[in-house]
Amino acid sequence: MVSKKKKKYASGEGAQFMTRKAALKKLQLSLKDFRRICILKGIYPREPRNRKRAQKGAGGIKTLYHTKDIRFLLHEPIIWKIRDLKVYQQKIRKARAMRRYGEMRKYLRDHPEMTIDHIVKERYPTFVDALRDLDDCLTLCFLFSTFPSLKKVPRDQSMLCRRLTVEFMHAVIAAKALRKVFVSIKGYYYQAEFEGQTITWIVPHHFSFQPQSKDEVDFKIMSTFVEFYTNLLGFVNFKLYHSLNLVYPPKLTRGLSLNSEKDLIDEKAYVAERIAAMNLSLARIAGSNDAEELPEIDIFNTEDEDPQKLEEAKLEVEKVKKLKTMFKGLKFFINREVPREPLVFLIRCFGGEVSWDRNMFVGATFDETDETINYQIVDRPSMEKQYLSRYYVQPQWVFDNVNARTLLPINKYLMGAVLPPHLSPFIDKTKDQVYIPPEQRALNDPDFKPKNDDEVSDEDIEEASDEDEKDQEEKDSEDEGAEAALTRQYQEEVAEESSSDDDGEDDNEKKKIAKEKKKAMAVKPGVPHKDHPYQKEIEDKQAFRLREKLVRKKHRNLYKSMKAGQEARKKEIWLLRKKRRLHDEKVQEEKKVEKRKQRMQALDAASA
């Protein structure tokens, strides 16, 4: 029996991959709808090992997808919903063209709505899975919450993003889950911790929106991502609020005093504004208490039983416990020139009370004249009216307190003072090749004394090398003296032997034998063995090169990329150190120039 001939590209990578054009033909969708479904379902292009086989012998570079993923999309109910939507849109267009407005209103009323709740549940089966993938979700939702009404971004979507992000920040405040914060050019970096999962997101600075002249960003694709992320964030907020015993949607604990608010028109807008102010606590479920504190750590026997790790874990828990109540019992007042939202979020996360000028924003709880205010946050060089009962600090003090997990001295953060550098807490301690600025090293090691250039000067290197040369010369002179003494002793013994009696021809042989024995028994001058100072380093390098040659062929490219990454990090560290050295030299030069000017001014004043 003759077996059938196997067709080319019917198995292997030729059957595993499918081009985008073939996927559109199989699903019978337009490119726009296909992109939308891929974003919602989490399907993305793949990179094959052998592109020529995956493209069935075709040249060029094409967008490839897994055939299995495209087959799964065939059973997706959203595809049928999209087709129904297209049918309704065609009916509406036809009714408008035929001027049948009654039918058009009927079609608009019965227009099908597409829900993607089942996709969220499918992609994130558990709550922990959703928390792990929340970084991009929060970053994009916070970005869209700052957008005005754009052509391809509906106003309802940006308003929904704003509501969901405010709800999430209230959940972080109630759980006291914030751990780190950093202010950069991009915006505010935050890191919170829920159920053992760290969530890091970026909140952009609140500047006026500048429209783009060119279509550099495809807002339609970003809007599709936001459509999925808003559903995900809504589910996460619902779960967080119920785990914290809070009412969802959020409600205020204080009732509305309608008599005092004469201009109150919309009650929902009034509540939404006060919730967005983040200055009031939210209502809890009836009969529930506050969220419980973390219990003490249970100690279990592990495989390594490393006591150092257990101690580090205990210290971390104690630090987090103190961090949660760092601002408890303190009152803050924010001036109008200071960005309000990030500071209110930080202060409320750690138990503090905060307020601002009630004429500028809604939600203020106390006035500036309150004598119980401990700190007033200002961002200006001076103020005309100041109170003796409070400290006037700059906003960076609050951010640095969070990263240091304690209240720092306010001497360097007073009004009008030159601020210390704002150090990033997002540093991976497991990495070896990381540039650590001198200020960070001083915080980590109290005994460290930073130099101006953060490096050893050339004079110190020369002094150290001179001392090493002196020590080496002393050792060499001692070795030479010992060698000369041994040589002298040997010569004396040989001279005594040669000056002895040579009488008797019979005794010549005996004397020769005795001389040979004495020579064999004589102490020979020792030769000191000098180790080459770089010999061990040379041997280690040679051994390392031999080990590199033993790397398998399939792992060589990976090893080369690792080495290239190490070299790139070395270069980056060297560049950062050089920049820091140049910056310090420039600052020193400016100080010198300033001192010269002051001296000249003093001399001119004295001569006058």
Kindly report, residue by residue over 200-219, the tens digit of the pLDDT.
Answer: 999 999 877 776 666 778 88
Same domain, 134 and 192: yes
Kindly report, residue by residue over 280-325, the tens digit of the pLDDT.
Answer: 888 888 766 655 455 555 555 555 566 777 777 788 888 888 888 8
Three-class secondary structure of residue 259 per DSSP: coil
Q: How high is the pLDDT of residue 258?
A: 46
pTM for this structure? 0.75
Q: Which amino acid is at 236?
A: V
Same domain, 146 and 269: yes
pLDDT bracket for residue 519 (50, 70, 90): confident
Mean local confidence (pLDDT), 499-518: 69
pLDDT bracket for residue 458 (50, 70, 90): very low
* Structural domain boundaries enclosing 48: 13-109
Same domain, 146 and 227: yes
Q: CATH number, domain at 390?
A: 3.40.50.10190
Mean local confidence (pLDDT), 235-248: 91
Same domain, 174 and 242: yes
Same domain, 60 and 191: no
Same domain, 134 and 200: yes
Same domain, 231 and 371: no
Asked if pLDDT for residue 410 goes beyond 80, the answer is yes
Whether 138 maps to a domain, the answer reads: yes
Whether 513 maps to a domain, the answer reads: no
Whether 572 maps to a domain, the answer reads: no
Whether 181 maps to a domain, the answer reads: yes
| Of the residues 91, 109, 127, the one at which a domain ends | 109
Whether 201 maps to a domain, the answer reads: yes
Same domain, 101 and 138: no
Whether 439 maps to a domain, the answer reads: no
Task: At 117, list the tokens.
Answer: 């709740």
Whether 62 maps to a domain, the answer reads: yes
Q: How high is the pLDDT of residue 494?
A: 54
Same domain, 21 and 124: no
Same domain, 97 and 203: no
| Of the residues 426, 454, 472, the one at which a domain ends | 426
Same domain, 135 and 100: no
Same domain, 331 and 252: no
Kindly report, residue by residue over 348-383, the tens digit of the pLDDT.
Answer: 999 899 998 888 888 888 888 888 999 999 998 888
Whole-number average pLDDT of the chain: 82
Whether 94 maps to a domain, the answer reads: yes
| Of the residues 394, 426, 458, the one at which a domain ends | 426
Asked if pLDDT for residue 255 goes beyond 70, the answer is no
Burial of 235 (0-12, 13-18, 19+ CB in 10 A): middle
Nearest Cα to Cα of residue 476 among 414, 404, 527, 537: 527
Q: Which amino acid is at 148?
A: P
For residue 483, give Cα distances in angstroms to 91, 415, 491, 518, 525. Answer: 111, 73, 13, 20, 6
Residue 301: half-sphere exposure toward Cβ, Cα within 13 Å: 0
- The total of structural domains in the chain comes to 3
Q: Which amino acid is at 206?
A: H
Computed from CA positions of residues 46, 50, 51, 52, in that sequence, does the dihedral angle turn out positive or negative? Answer: negative
